[in-house]
């Protein structure tokens, strides 16, 4: 199956060609279905054309960065396609971010324009401090049924910078090409068997690789994207049932919350595919999902921003191996390597290294980190180009005798919450900026619902207050980055090297006030 179903592809590698092909082949079919409105593919392409025209009039050109702060829906989809359609690079801000994170994203990417919703801007706890030129999406005039003409791009031209957090705690911008997005879309459509008759739920942020995949897979197949922005699981289930959703992608915390509702335990007749990524789903939850929706095929998947999608477990194997992350996606290869770069034996733990068409270009503006993660292929096949790069994921896995992969843990100490990777130091930066502490250490601990949660160990400054510190975090950090618990200590132990001794801190008998 191709991702275009009748839409002719040109030599233009621009990922916005997916929308152009869909508009030509499926113009009157629903593209984006929201609670209060619906856009067909012709209207979505026209809106993307209007936004591209407004961007060009504002001086945006090829390879310029354009940030976006928009609610998930038709305008956000049109803004993405309109931006990449001009040859510019899309930088999507999660709508739950606070000003500090949005400003850092804009600054690090070098975005000189911000397409935003006035409602989201007004809802921020303070105005943004940025030199980026604001474009109110509501003020961009409609262009009727204007023609959408994506400018020519090559495979390795950059389409998007996707921000994720690493072990340093600072945002990392992963540089994603047009070819990366097209390959991932083609592959996922293929193994999920998505067609133009599907109605795909959109319940995840477009700033998230997994959330963007729902938009691209819908557009690439001519399916409808059904948007539900409510955080309430009961409302999500009502939308799934009322809109006859056929494909649902979610992260473990959302699956667990859905399983906690009686409504989800009644089979949804239209639902035929469920996918999990963004974290390991515990086997009891896997079995509960299978029992709740026996008519839906469950795919367990694994990915990382640096390669978009890496492995998947076909539904036929889920019941026998509910704790497995599966095998490499079609057209890709996964190595499990020891520290010395040699292949690990079956059952032996090693680092997951990914090879294939979804390997991105590296980290925006960070050549040193790129060189550490995106390396020459240590197992390069004869005849393969020496310039090929593979991604050393930092994830520890093992492979069994059947070739199935199993996740073991991270090599570093990144905390993974609700599918997001959170660097402890990024949270520490905010704790220190509050003025309430003199010392702070941030760590993760297990959480049955969220995967992990954040704990902050702090030494208060003179006159400092734990209550004011918590309130400051609530203003400056999105919910998933806020400490679940703040423990006040008289002192934080250190190692001989001078680094904080986290193990001693967790096991100490110091008084918690």
Q: State the chain's mean pLDDT as an integer.
A: 90
Is the pLDDT score of 100 beyond 60? Answer: yes
In tens, the pLDDT along 210-269 reads: 999 999 999 999 999 999 999 899 999 999 999 999 999 998 888 988 998 999 999 999
Residue 46 domain-assigned (yes or no): yes
Is the pLDDT score of 131 beyond 90? Answer: yes
* Helices marked H in 272-375: 283-292, 315-318, 367-373
Q: Is the Cβ–Cβ distance between 68 and 115 less than 8 Å?
A: yes
Tokens 């070739």 belong to 403
In tens, the pLDDT along 482-508 reads: 999 999 998 888 653 335 677 777 764
- Alpha-carbon distance 98 to 118, whole Å? 15
Residue 336 domain-assigned (yes or no): no
Helix (H) or strand (E) holding 233: helix 233-242
Lowest mean pLDDT among 86-100, 222-236, 442-456, 486-500: 486-500
Length reported for the chain: 513
Number of structural domains, the chain?
2
Q: Which of 131, 147, 179 is the last residue of a domain?
A: 179
**Could you tell me the CA-to-CA distances from 443 to 98, 302, 385, 456 in Å, in that order?**
21, 24, 41, 7
- Alpha-carbon distance 303 to 307, whole Å? 7
In tens, the pLDDT along 277-288 reads: 988 788 888 999
Residue 73 domain-assigned (yes or no): yes
Q: Which of 148, 179, 210 is the last residue of a domain?
A: 179
Is the pLDDT score of 18 beyond 80? Answer: yes
Residue 155 domain-assigned (yes or no): yes
Which pLDDT score is estimated for 495? 52
Residue 111 domain-assigned (yes or no): yes
Is the pLDDT score of 6 beyond 80? Answer: no
Question: What is the pTM (predicted TM-score) of this model?
Answer: 0.84
Which pLDDT score is estimated for 41? 97
Please, which pLDDT band fits residue 96 given cuts at 50, 70 and 90? confident
**Could you tell me the CA-to-CA distances from 371 to 153, 345, 365, 366, 376 in Å, in that order?**
26, 27, 12, 9, 9
Which pLDDT score is estimated for 2? 34
- Alpha-carbon distance 430 to 427, whole Å? 5
Q: Is the Cβ–Cβ distance between 202 and 72 less than 8 Å?
A: yes
Residue 323 domain-assigned (yes or no): no
Which pLDDT score is estimated for 166? 43
- Alpha-carbon distance 484 to 451, whole Å? 13
Say which CATH number the domain at 456 has: 3.30.300.30
Q: Is the Cβ–Cβ distance between 313 and 326 less than 8 Å?
A: yes
Residue 449 domain-assigned (yes or no): yes
- Alpha-carbon distance 225 to 215, whole Å? 7
**Residue 209 phi, psi dihedral angles, 5° rounding:** -50, -45
Is the pLDDT score of 314 beyond 60? Answer: yes
Angle between helices 252-259 and 283-292 (to 10 degrees): 50
Q: Is the Cβ–Cβ distance between 311 and 391 less than 8 Å?
A: no
Query: What's the rounded mean pLDDT across residues 441-464?
Result: 89
Q: Which residue range forms the structural domain that includes residue 133? A: 1-179
In tens, the pLDDT along 406-416 reads: 988 777 767 87
Which pLDDT score is estimated for 257? 87
Q: Which of 116, 147, 179 is the last residue of a domain?
A: 179
Is the pLDDT score of 363 beyond 90? Answer: yes
Beta strands in 237-309 (DSSP E): 247-250, 273-276, 297-302
In tens, the pLDDT along 179-220 reads: 999 999 999 999 999 999 999 999 999 999 999 999 999 999
Residue 37 domain-assigned (yes or no): yes
* Strand-pair category, 327-328 with 311-313: antiparallel
Q: Is the Cβ–Cβ distance between 240 and 201 less than 8 Å?
A: yes
- Alpha-carbon distance 392 to 373, whole Å? 5
**Residue 413 phi, psi dihedral angles, 5° rounding:** -115, 25
**Sign of the CA dihedral with 243 first, then 245, 250, and 252 last:** positive
Percentages (nearest 5) of helix, strand, coil residues in the chain: 30, 25, 45
From its phi and psi, is residue 66 left (phi > 0), alpha (psi between -120 and 50) or beta? beta
Say which CATH number the domain at 20 has: 3.40.50.980
In tens, the pLDDT along 26-66 reads: 999 999 999 999 999 999 999 999 999 999 999 999 999 99
Is the pLDDT score of 5 beyond 50? Answer: no
Which pLDDT score is estimated for 375? 97
- Alpha-carbon distance 433 to 512, whole Å? 22
């Amino acid at each position: 199956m191709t991702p275009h179903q009748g839409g002719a592809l040109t030599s233009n590698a621009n990922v916005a060609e997916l929308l152009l092909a869909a508009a030509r082949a499926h113009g009157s079919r629903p593209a984006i279905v929201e609670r209060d409105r619906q856009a067909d593919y012709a209207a979505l392409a026209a809106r993307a054309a209007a936004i591209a025209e407004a961007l060009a009039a504002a001086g945006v050109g090829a390879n310029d960065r354009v940030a976006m702060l928009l609610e998930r829906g038709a305008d956000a989809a049109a803004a993405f396609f309109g931006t990449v359609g001009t040859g510019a690079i899309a930088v999507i801000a999660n709508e739950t971010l606070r000003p500090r994170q949005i400003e850092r994203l804009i600054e690090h990417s070098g975005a000189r324009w911000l397409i935003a919703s006035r409602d989201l801007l007004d809802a921020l706890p303070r105005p943004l401090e940025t030199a980026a030129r604001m474009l109110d999406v509501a003020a961009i005039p409609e262009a009727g049924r204007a023609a959408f003409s994506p400018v020519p791009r090559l495979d390795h031209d950059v389409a998007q910078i996707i921000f994720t957090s690493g072990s340093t705690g600072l945002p990392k911008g992963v540089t994603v090409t047009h070819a990366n997005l097209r390959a991932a879309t083609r592959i996922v459509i293929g193994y999920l068997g998505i067609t133009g008759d599907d109605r795909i739920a959109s319940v995840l942020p477009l700033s998230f690789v997994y959330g963007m995949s729902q938009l691209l897979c819908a557009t690439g197949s001519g399916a409808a994207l059904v948007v539900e922005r409510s955080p309430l699981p009961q409302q999500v289930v009502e939308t799934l049932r009322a809109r006859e959703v056929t494909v649902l992608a979610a992260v473990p915390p959302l699956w667990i919350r859905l399983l906690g509702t009686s409504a989800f335990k009644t089979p949804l007749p239209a639902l035929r595919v469920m996918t999990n990524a963004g974290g390991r789903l515990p086997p009891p939850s896997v079995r509960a999902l299978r029992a709740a929706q026996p008519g839906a095929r469950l795919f367990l998947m694994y990915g990382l921003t640096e390669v978009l999608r890496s492995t998947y477990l076909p539904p036929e194997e889920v019941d026998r191996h509910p704790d497995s992350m599966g095998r490499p996606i079609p057209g890709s290869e996964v190595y499990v390597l020891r520290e010395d770069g040699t292949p690990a034996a079956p059952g032996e733990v090693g680092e997951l290294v990914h090879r294939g068409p979804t390997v991105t270009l590296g980290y925006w503006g960070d050549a040193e980190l790129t060189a550490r993660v995106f390396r020459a292929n240590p197992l390069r096949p004869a005849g393969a180009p020496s310039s090929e790069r593979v991604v050393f994921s930092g994830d520890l896995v093992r492979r069994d005798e059947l070739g199935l992969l199993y996740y073991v843990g991270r090599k570093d100490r990144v905390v993974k919450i609700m599918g997001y990777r959170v660097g402890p130091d990024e949270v520490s930066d905010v704790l220190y900026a509050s003025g309430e502490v003199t010392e702070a250490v941030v760590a993760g601990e297990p959480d049955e619902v969220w995967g992990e949660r954040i704990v902050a160990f702090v030494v208060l400054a003179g006159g400092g207050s734990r209550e004011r510190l918590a309130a400051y975090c609530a203003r400056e950090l999105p919910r998933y980055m806020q400490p679940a618990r703040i423990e006040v200590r008289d002192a934080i132990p250190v190692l001989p090297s001078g680094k904080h001794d986290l193990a001693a801190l967790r096991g100490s008998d110091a008084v918690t006030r």
